Amino acid sequence: MLMRTSQQTLTEQLVARFSERIRSRLLPAGSRLPSVRECARQQEVSPHTVVAAYDQLVATGLVEARKQKGFYVRDVHVLKQNEQFAGIESAQSAIKNVVAGALHQRPRIDATALIRGMFARGGGSLSSPLQPGMGVLPPDWMESDFLGPAVRKVSQGRNLLEASLRYGEPLGDASLREALSVKLRDFAIDAPSSRIVTTQGATQALDIVSRTLLKSGDYVMVEEPGWAVEFARLDALGMRILPVPRTAEGPDLNVMARYCEEHAPKLYVSVSVLHNPTGACLSPSSAHRILQLAASQDFHIVEDDTYCHIAQPHATRMSALDGLQRTIYVSGFAKILAPNWRIGFMATPEHLTERLLDTKLLTSLTTPALLEKALAHCINEGHLRKHSERVRTRLDAARSRAVRLALQSGCSFAAEPAGLFGWVETGVDTEPLAQRMLDDGILLAPGALFNAARQPSTLMRINFATTQEAGFWKKFVAQRDASQR
């Protein structure tokens, strides 16, 4: 809460709080601030204090007042582009130069708030490693005793020198690509090492595919609810997003067919196994029909299998059914093993391998050969398999506890709990709830973040690994109930 003994006035503290959240995008462009009365109640201050704070935020250009509608966050990126010199006067001058229509367009899809919050380190309100909005496993879950020895082994003798002074192989380290080719057979995916391209994480693989197959203005089908970062990435590249409702069985095929008739999309992006945020897995019949549609309407499919390490091998994957003809299989190791190694990969159709490789070389030149060799060692020696099994066992137990606590807290699940994430029905708009939870140092992942148009939602995504303690749910219930009074 605001401190009455602080050297700053209550108004100054409130301005500083909102300013920080806007600049760090925890309050994204287009968000509505709480009403004056609601903010006064939340912060336990007078309405006069809130009015004064909002007036200052308007004066600095971070917020705009809309007649009879309230106060809304402006796009600080647009403002920065128009600033010509420092100081409040220049900022106010820049505001006048912003094209009026730009401030009222669809809010930018902004997933960076979640990323910034996930990786906050000490000194701030989000310093706790156990945040319910996290998209990754807690660091201690990924600790192992084999990563260090693997690096030492592959860097013996002149290996370290040679790996450091030369670029790696264009496709990626040969030993890793061969290990991945063997590993993919567990999923019934036949991918020779010559058609595997390593990347700097799965996110770069997705970016390479987009930059290779699409141009600005092209239509792309993406599942909704869907991965917030993918919405944001495609939006930043100038693509036109076509949200496809995701059900327990898979995407709404009628919607996909209509999009094909009206817009001729070039690409469909799917998380077929342990979908983020619902945890659902694609059914064989849906996979078959999607592939038929792709063949008849001439679009490619990116199958993002980021969560393969915590899923069952027998789960349906379109890349296995399709034989990598129209599908591009993408995965990585940041979610299970070594986030900072940034190692991902693509298994590609033969006719696209060289084009995708060219884009990789233009954007990153190479990949970290030494770490790729170390990862290959971990796979070949069975370390990764055993580690994944331990994590799955631990996650199963955490999921059971988190589900029980969620149900006891009056929530329900919009999808069958599975994998790392739960798609939780709260009964209240989760975006303003998420802002209130920030005052307790807790980062939520509100449902609007997983909607292409950022529509209000009563859903939220939880990380089962970080929501298995009663303390979080107690705070959640208190804030949710307060919002309903």
* Cα angle, residue 36 at apex, residues 118 and 426 outer, rounded to 5°: 45
Query: Do the domain assignments include residue 2?
Result: no
Instruction: Specify whether 250 is located in the same domain as 333.
Output: yes
Contact (CB, 8 A) for 278 and 251: no
Instruction: Specify whether 80 is located in the same domain as 176.
Output: no
Q: Which residues contact 106 (CB under 8 A, 6 or more apart)?
A: 30, 453, 454
In sequence order, the β-bridge partners of residue 423 are 461
Contact (CB, 8 A) for 275 and 246: yes
Instruction: Specify whether 95 is located in the same domain as 157.
Output: no
Instruction: Specify whether 89 is located in the same domain as 129.
Output: no
Instruction: Specify whether 354 is located in the same domain as 391.
Output: no
Query: Do the domain assignments include residue 235?
Result: yes
Query: Do the domain assignments include residue 262?
Result: yes
Query: Do the domain assignments include residue 120?
Result: yes
Q: In 136-248, which ranges are continuous DSSP H helix? A: 139-142, 147-154, 159-165, 174-184, 201-213, 228-236
Contact (CB, 8 A) for 421 and 406: no
Phi, psi of 411 (to 5 degrees): -95, 170
Residue 462 is part of a domain; what is its CATH number? 3.90.1150.10
Q: Which residues contact 124 (CB under 8 A, 6 or more apart)?
A: none
Query: Do the domain assignments include residue 132?
Result: yes
Instruction: Specify whether 176 is located in the same domain as 313.
Output: yes
Looking at 104, 122, 156, the residue that finishes a domain is 104
Entry pTM: 0.83
pLDDT, position 53: 94
Contact (CB, 8 A) for 215 and 239: no
In sequence order, the β-bridge partners of residue 328 are 302
CA–chain centroid gap for 62, Å, is 25
Instruction: Specify whether 165 is located in the same domain as 298.
Output: yes
Residue 369 is part of a domain; what is its CATH number? 3.40.640.10
CA–chain centroid gap for 241, Å, is 16
**How many other C-beta atoms can be found within 10 angstroms of the C-beta atom of residue 30?**
17
Query: Do the domain assignments include residue 4?
Result: no
Residue 85 is part of a domain; what is its CATH number? 1.10.10.10
Instruction: Specify whether 356 is located in the same domain as 465.
Output: no
Looking at 310, 345, 380, the residue that finishes a domain is 380
**Which of 119, 97, 104 is CA-nearest to residue 66?**
104
**How many other C-beta atoms can be found within 10 angstroms of the C-beta atom of residue 236?**
11
d(CA 280, CA 277): 8
Q: What domain count does the chain have?
A: 3
Structural Rg of the chain based on CA atoms: 24
Instruction: Specify whether 129 is located in the same domain as 224.
Output: no
309 burial (CB, 10 Å; 0-12 / 13-18 / 19+) is: buried
Residues 277-303 have pLDDT tens digits of 999 999 999 999 999 999 999 999 999
Residues 387-400 have pLDDT tens digits of 999 999 999 999 99
Instruction: Specify whether 392 is located in the same domain as 370.
Output: no
Instruction: Specify whether 132 is located in the same domain as 159.
Output: no
Q: Give the helix, strand, coil percentages of the chain, each rounded to 5.
A: 50, 15, 40
DSSP letter for 251, please.
Answer: B
DSSP three-state, residue 72: strand
**Positions of the chain with pLDDT under 50:** 83-109, 121-125
Residue 94 structural domain: 10-104
Contact (CB, 8 A) for 82 and 52: no
pLDDT, position 108: 36
* Cα angle, residue 454 at apex, residues 260 and 91 outer, rounded to 5°: 120
Instruction: Specify whether 286 is located in the same domain as 163.
Output: yes
Query: Do the domain assignments include residue 372?
Result: yes
Looking at 363, 380, 397, the residue that finishes a domain is 380
pLDDT, position 112: 63
Q: Which helix (H) or strand (E) holds 362?
A: helix 353-364
Contact (CB, 8 A) for 136 and 118: yes
In angstroms, the Cα distances linking 296 to 214, 244, 326, 401 are: 19, 18, 11, 45
Please provide the size of the chain in residues: 485
Query: Do the domain assignments include residue 218?
Result: yes
